[in-house]
Structure 1
Amino acid sequence: MATTVDNQLSEKASHSSGSHPTNNNAGYLRGGGANNGYDVRNPMAHIHAGDDARLPAFGGEFQPGLYRSVEARKFANPAPLGLSAFALTTFVLSCVNLRVRGVTAPNIAVPLALGYGGLVQLLAGMWEMAVGNTFGATALSSYGGFWIAYGIMLTPNWNIVGEGGPYHPKNPAPSFDPRMANSALGFFLTGWFIFTTILLLLTLRSTVMFFLLFFTLDLAFLMLACGDYATNNGALNAAETLTKAGGGFGMLAAFLAWYNAFAGIADSSNSFFLIPVFHFPWSEKGREARIARTATRDLQE
């Protein structure tokens, strides 16, 4: 059964690259040589040696663990769409947090937060659920909800943190704290820092680029939350530094999201090059690579 699946997948891979199946290509796909089951034309492709075809952990599929092959999947890979929606919205807001060209008002991020980072990323998360990717569905849907909530918070008609709103009443009480809204925003961002930390722990056995995406995003949430708390405490210089640090980590997270999105889209049929994702040495693919190197050394000796 495994041989039949391997043969079918080898033929599909050969046809998709514009060539006819040959013994050499089949050998590369089924584990021939030092590649240990990875197609040299597409390092993202992997044929598991067991009874069913599996793919390794990969940010381009928004999947931190091994899962079933996508050969029989009726949906396209929704991960690059969700990653791109997240990346662009994060990039724009990070520019504001970094005070690029003197822009300090974050309202330009509202249409992106509601439309692209919010709605489109939420849809990508739902499609991840349809293809059976629990991690991708949870992460993309949640961050889509984050951007929708952030967009609502900055929408003037809702006036959640604006003048005359609940945190800035027209007739404040004598004990009113004018910076109370910053602590409330800190609570909001702290919750997302905790959630992102959970997801970060689930990428420790995947790839370096996938891990770094969540690591930099986690630090961005932490820095921005601390910046709001510092503002509430009156430490305005520290708050500005922390906000800029959050913007810097957010910018890194945006480009890492685009990096993983490109890795998930690019293959030998549409790109002249493929970008590395750097599997951790303790990951499934890392262990297989070590076994392959050891077997190659033994053969040479």
Structure 2
Amino acid sequence: MTDVEKGHSSQADNGPQPRQDQFVNNYDGRHSFAPRPTKIGNPGALGLFSFASTTFLLSLLNVNARSLTEPNIVVGMALFTGGLAQFMAGMWEFPRGNVFGATAFTSYGAFWMSFATILIPSSGIASAYATADELNEALGLYLMMWFVFTMLLTLGALRRNVAFIALLGFLSLTFLLLAIAKFNGNLSIQKAGGAFGIVTAWIAYYAAVSELLVPGESWFTLPLGGIKQKRED
């Protein structure tokens, strides 16, 4: 979801920027992004930290950490950290030419804001359902839709790097397990989904730190497991 996913790291963005006509002349039209000069800094770390922190908190609630069962404490985080901050990171990815990162950050930012809205009593969404079982069925469909979206996004990450493939893979399993838990009311499956969510969050934390550790500014860097791209003639 950052420059690293496009086959080059933000760690290499410190040199002189080519002129606009050089980018236009070198772009072959076969990729989903077009490199271009921009003064916008890399928003990848912001998006990843926002996603990781909100996912980690909700996942702790899903495994009933500290005997907590109500998810409402995540509302503020979902609105402003996982929601607004991540949504803005997605918007900043667009002018940098990173379509994949922009799509992912913007979509998951919107997910967190929509999830928070469901939990806010004054929204009337939860109270619109006559029974708790009916609400859980609706939430199951909601989570299943995000499972499908994440699986499709995973396909787009298969030639990017190992870290993001793992992140989206674990996130897909998290959504799937939580959806199943809503459908059948099984607490053990919910806790399993929470456990996968915790793993997802820590992978995202790792990827976020890797975006901050750039040569010339850090003592070391963290590898994301780059995948060798097939050369096109």
Q: TM-score range by the shorter chain?
A: 0.7 to 0.9
Question: Aligned pair in 2 of structure 1 residues 276, 178: CA closer, same or farther (>3 Å)?
Answer: closer
Aligned to 2:128: 166
Match of 1:247 among 194, 215, 224: 194
Aligned-partner Cα distance in 2 for 1:94–1:178: 21
Aligned to 1:132: 97
Query: Which residues of 2 match residues 104-115 of structure 1 at below 5 A?
Result: 104-115=69-80
Identity of aligned residues (%): 40
Aligned-partner Cα distance in 2 for 1:263–1:150: 28
Aligned to 1:227: 181
Letter in 1 for 2:216: S
Task: Give per-residue Cα distances to partners, 1:139-194, cap 9 Å, x unaligned.
Answer: 11110110000001001212322xxx2213xxxxxxxx541111100010000000
Aligned-partner Cα distance in 2 for 1:43–1:198: 25
The answer to whether the aligner puts 1:198 opposite 2:160 as a matched pair is no
Aligned-partner Cα distance in 1 for 2:152–2:114: 20
Aligned-partner Cα distance in 2 for 1:151–1:81: 20
Q: Give 4+ residue runs of structure 1 displaced > 2 Å after superposition.
A: 42-47, 65-70
Unaligned runs of 5+ in 2: 1-7, 16-21, 24-30
Query: Which residues of 2 match residues 41-190 of structure 1 at below 5 A?
Result: 45=12, 72-161=37-126, 165-168=127-130, 178-190=132-144
Aligned-partner Cα distance in 2 for 1:188–1:178: 15
Aligned-partner Cα distance in 1 for 2:94–2:225: 26
Aligned to 1:271: 218
Letter in 2 for 1:188: Y
Letter in 2 for 1:136: G
* 8 Å CA contact 2:86, 2:108 repeated in 1: yes
Q: Give me the TM-score of the superposition, normalised by structure 1.
A: 0.65
Aligned-partner Cα distance in 2 for 1:121–1:274: 23
Question: Aligned pair in 2 of structure 1 residues 244, 66: CA closer, same or farther (>3 Å)?
Answer: same
RMSD: 2.4
Question: Aligned pair in 2 of structure 1 residues 99, 123: CA closer, same or farther (>3 Å)?
Answer: same
Aligned-partner Cα distance in 2 for 1:216–1:255: 11
Aligned-partner Cα distance in 2 for 1:67–1:153: 34
Letter in 1 for 2:74: A
* 8 Å CA contact 2:86, 2:106 repeated in 1: yes
Aligned-partner Cα distance in 2 for 1:272–1:85: 24
* 8 Å CA contact 2:33, 2:97 repeated in 1: no
Aligned-partner Cα distance in 2 for 1:187–1:277: 33
Name which one, 1 or 2, has greater alpha-carbon Rg: 1
Task: Give per-residue Cα distances to partners, 1:39-65, cap 9 Å, x unaligned.
Answer: xxx995499xxx97xxxxxxxxxxxx8
Aligned-partner Cα distance in 2 for 1:118–1:66: 25
Task: Give per-residue Cα distances to partners, 1:18-42, cap 9 Å, x unaligned.
Answer: xxxxxxxxxxxxxxxxxxxx9xxx9
Unaligned runs of 5+ in 1: 1-37, 53-64, 169-176, 232-238, 289-301
Aligned-partner Cα distance in 2 for 1:67–1:266: 24
* 8 Å CA contact 2:84, 2:113 repeated in 1: yes
The answer to whether the aligner puts 1:257 opposite 2:204 as a matched pair is yes
Aligned-partner Cα distance in 2 for 1:222–1:148: 20
Equivalent pairs, count: 210
Letter in 2 for 1:271: S
Displacement of 1:116 in angstroms is: 1.0
Letter in 1 for 2:129: Y
